[in-house]
């Protein structure tokens, strides 16, 4: 192996095999700096940027301590690892839902409010998904409080639309805007983010097609919502026997101790019915 005398001496002292060191000297010769880099005594120097080259990106380095919120999120994620869960997915046609949204959007109603209402109506019919586990049995929650995951600076929080099945979408829409603003400003009261009985996590706005969500502690279910995509499906009434529709994939994660596969399937079937005939959301 080609190496400078100083590099050989340094490698011998550090008990390093010169053959394992990448040489940066002339003709690939191992230099003393190469040995120091191999031992960690010296850091690799960044090459000077050539004229016209793209600007180098300064990447973060080292430990950044968790904030209180990040520590709480991390702790909650670890708590769920011991929970036996299962997941069920379903595609939902979104054309009718999207048309309804365009009608109510000028009135200040958000997609989040509509999704919360749709899930609440399905939970009303299948309350087992709104339940939580206890060693003594199934705890049925008397209220349907839909928590919606929101990413904020420095963490994640779940503002909750309480009594979502009983309130109209206009009221839910106004409440949701207020909750999101409070979340961004760090003004949410504990009852406004700790009272959820069911959770929705929506990554569709980021172009995610499908994902699995982690079940929050103390809940029976969480619904992961992907983005809407246009697909071609058979249609006997279309000229060419095919038509284009918008579809969205949703994935339900459940606590398998009190909720079974059939329960989840029936809930998703009902959710599909609500979202494909969304006029019920206006009642």
Q: Judge whether 3 counts as a catalytic residue.
A: no
Q: Which of 39, 256, 272, 273 is catalytic?
A: 256
**Helix, coil or strand: residue 234:** strand
Contact 246, 225 (CB under 8 A): no
Residues, the chain: 283
Residue from 155, 131, 156, 153 nearest 141 by CA: 131
Total Cβ atoms within 10 A of residue 34: 23
- Rounded Cα distance, 179 and 74, in Å: 23
Contact 116, 164 (CB under 8 A): yes
| Residues 6 or more apart in contact with residue 71 via CB below 8 angstroms | none
Phi, psi dihedral angles at 63 (to 5 degrees): -80, 130
The catalytic residue positions are 256
């Amino acid at each position: 192996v080609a190496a400078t005398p100083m590099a050989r001496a340094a490698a011998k002292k550090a008990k390093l095999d010169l053959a394992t060191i990448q040489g940066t000297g002339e003709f690939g010769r191992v230099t003393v700096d190469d040995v120091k880099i191999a031992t960690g005594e010296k850091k690799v120097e960044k090459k000077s940027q050539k004229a016209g080259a793209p600007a180098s990106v300064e990447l973060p380095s080292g430990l950044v301590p968790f904030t209180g919120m990040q520590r709480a999120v991390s702790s909650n994620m670890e708590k769920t690892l011991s929970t036996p869960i299962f997941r069920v997915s379903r595609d939902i046609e979104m054309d009718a839902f999207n048309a309804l949204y365009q009608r109510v959007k000028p009135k200040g109603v958000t997609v989040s409010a509509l999704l919360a209402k749709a899930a609440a109506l399905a939970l009303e019919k299948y309350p087992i998904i709104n339940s939580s586990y206890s060693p003594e049995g199934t705890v049925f929650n008397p209220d349907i409080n839909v928590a919606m995951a929101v990413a904020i600076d420095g963490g994640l929080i779940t503002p909750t639309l309480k009594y979502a099945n009983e309130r109209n979408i206009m009221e839910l829409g106004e409440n949701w805007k207020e909750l999101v603003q409070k979340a961004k400003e760090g003004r949410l009261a504990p009852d406004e983010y700790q009272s959820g009985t069911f959770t929705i996590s929506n990554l569709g706005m980021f172009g995610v097609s499908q994902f699995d969500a982690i079940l929050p502690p103390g809940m029976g279910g969480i619904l992961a919502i992907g983005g809407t995509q246009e697909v071609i499906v058979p249609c006997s009434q279309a000229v060419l026997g095919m038509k284009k529709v918008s579809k969205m994939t949703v994935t339900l994660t459940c606590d398998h101790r009190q909720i079974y596969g059939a329960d989840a399937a029936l809930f998703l079937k009902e959710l599909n019915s609500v979202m494909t005939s969304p006029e019920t959301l206006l009642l």
